[in-house]
A = this chain, B = another copy of it.
Amino acid sequence: MAKVVYRVTFEPDGRTLEVPAGRTLLEAAQAAGVQLEAPCGGRGTCGGCRVLIPDDPPAPSEACRRVLSGEEIGRRLRLACQVRVRRDLCVVIPEEARRRDQVILTEGVAFDVPLRPNVRKVAVRVPEPSVTDQRADADRLLDALAEAGLDGLTVGPAMLRELPRRLRTLDFHPAAVVVGREVVHLDRPTAVDACYGLALDVGTTTLVGYLVNLVSGETVAVASRANPQAAYGDDVIARIEYCGRQKTGARTLQALVVDALNEILAEACRRAHVKPAAVYEAAMVGNTTMNHLLLALPVDAIARAPFVAASASSHSVPARSVGLKIHQRGRLYTGPLIAGFVGADTVGVILATGMHAAERLTLAIDIGTNGEIVLGTRERLLACSTAAGPALEGARIRYGMRAAGGAIDRVDIVDGRVTVRTIGDEPPVGLCGTGLVDAVAALAEAGVIDPTGRMRPAEAVAGAPDLARRLRPADGEPAFVLVEAGEACCGHPILLTQRDVREVQLAKGAIAAGVRTLLDVYGAAMDDVAEVLLAGAFGNFIRPDRARGIGLLPDVPLEKIRFVGNAAGAGARMLLINRNLRYVATDVARGVEHVELSERRDFQERFAEAMLFPGA
């Protein structure tokens, strides 16, 4: 039987090709070399591949209805990935659906994100009122914007309050700032390029902000702060408990994190010479507790079984309603959450690494205060969260610190002699997460730490006098001197204590047990994993053999391990610069299967086992 083919013509280019019956229009477009955007990989969730079918368009699919508005469906728009070719077709690619400027995110994430921000700033000429044109100010502005191609917009009451004056001050020639479907500001028409957004990665221990130019897609400044909530507990459970004990606890923690985010905003703006009022939207990812604390949602149910959030949805709220000092009518978008301990940061990791579109089995580990693990392919994704603790971010460690100048990030023991390297080659100040892992790995390898994690007495390593000399108890617990007082900038020795080793054991044990449990639930073996992605600011500097050596990373060939940097932050930037990805994010968050480790006896057993070092 002859194969049935149909002719499909893509306008306005006029490219025509024959397409086997049953192919999707997206596949046909790709075959024709017609560029369509489909960051969701053709799953009908991002709305990027919308095309116009002028002649008798097929009934909209379930996905079309979800992603497109009634008005768009009526305008005969459909998603190319949802339309199968069953007759000759003429298809018009709307201007806005063609791929525009590409933005490549750095930091190990290579994923094309078309610039399609939720914020637009457009200069328009608005007809002045007259007796023959008595339209209300809002109507004349919206009509002018509709003529410029932006229709279906609204003007909220707060903007309306200054609209008449602004229109007249600007001689009816404003640059209108539109966030989502709402006009939030009228600026001078010459300021049309002053249009910024802020991507926020709100971590339990670390806060990072990326100031992004929404006209070019470029990240123009990055700033970070320690999360000041840490003063009230260094993991999320401790902070939730604080909120339960203290009536105003949640308000205190909300104010603290917002103050720090405003400092980040101010610093990034200062460095890039941008006014905070030219920042019209912030896009935030964070774990469920960070999300709820920032939005002032109740957190108590998160900490008790069965660990449910108040809301797992994405939200778009006035930025000022949470105290964020971007433009006074700017908005804050918060990414969707997966479960009580797996938040939008994990969704960001999935988006940034493209796991939701991956064909090969991929494992991602995001090391933060909680260690979130994701395993799967585009067909199925599993996620879990492990209480890794903040050790790998340098917290809860006697001489721990963030990865800044003077932090020890490498420890080597060669021929029984210890050498350390610091960031910026500055005099040693303390240990960052990378250095901590390196130190523990080196000491375990050298036999200073036994397979159960116990520091051996000095006598046991008498064969290496330098090591034996450094094994000097401090405050009644075993400890190892990494840097003698004379060499440290602080005037006292820099130690790795027995307790520090235990913290690392807890962290790596939790992560390794989580990985094994996910593999088990998925029904795969470690060998089936094609790639292991290590996310988290910490991962960029770690030595993979060392991390694998102590069991923090799984036992796979080193070439399978890839560092993807702060993938959560990269995900936040993607959500900031491409509003269509917000649909993808919601779809991903709903689709990921959450594995609740706390209820699994096998996890507890694996955890106990995984705390040991090799050789046990």
Q: Using a CB–CB distance below 8 Å, which chain A residues touch chain B?
A: 56-57, 59-60, 62, 64-66, 68-76, 129-131, 133-139, 154-155, 157, 160-165, 295-298, 300-301, 305-313, 315, 317, 321, 337, 339-340, 594, 596, 599
Contact = CB atoms under 8 A, between A and B. Distances in A.
Given A135-B308, A137-B311, A298-B165, A65 B71 contact: yes
Contacts of A154: 313
Given A70-B72, A129-B306, A135 B312 contact: yes
A131 B310 contact: no
Nearest to A337: B136
Given A139-B312, A160-B311, 9 more contacts: A60-B73, A64-B70, A65-B71, A66-B71, A131-B599, A134-B340, A157-B296, A162-B298, A164-B300
A138 B73 contact: no
Nearest to A142: B313
Contacts of A163: 298, 310-311
Tallying the copies of this chain within the complex gives 2
5 contacts: A62-B74, A70-B72, A73-B73, A138-B312, A160-B297
Closest 9 CB pairs of A and B: A65-B74, A70-B70, A136-B312, A138-B311, A136-B309, A129-B308, A131-B306, A69-B70, A70-B73
B164 A298 contact: yes
B164 A310 contact: yes
A321 B133 CA distance: 31
Contacts of A136: 308-313, 337
Given A134-B340, A312-B138, A594-B134, A71 B74 contact: no
A599 B308 CA distance: 65
Contact of A596 (B76, B131, B161, B165): B131
Nearest to A63: B74
A297 to B, nearest CB: 5
B339 A134 contact: yes
A301 B137 contact: yes
Contacts of A68: 70
A309 B157 contact: no
Contact of A297 (B72, B135, B161, B309): B161
Contacts of A312: 135-136, 138-139
A117 B68 CA distance: 27
A127 B75 CA distance: 40
Nearest to A62: B74
A157 B295 contact: yes
A76 B65 CA distance: 11
Contacts of A74: 59-60, 62, 64-65, 73
Contacts of A311: 136-139, 155, 160, 163
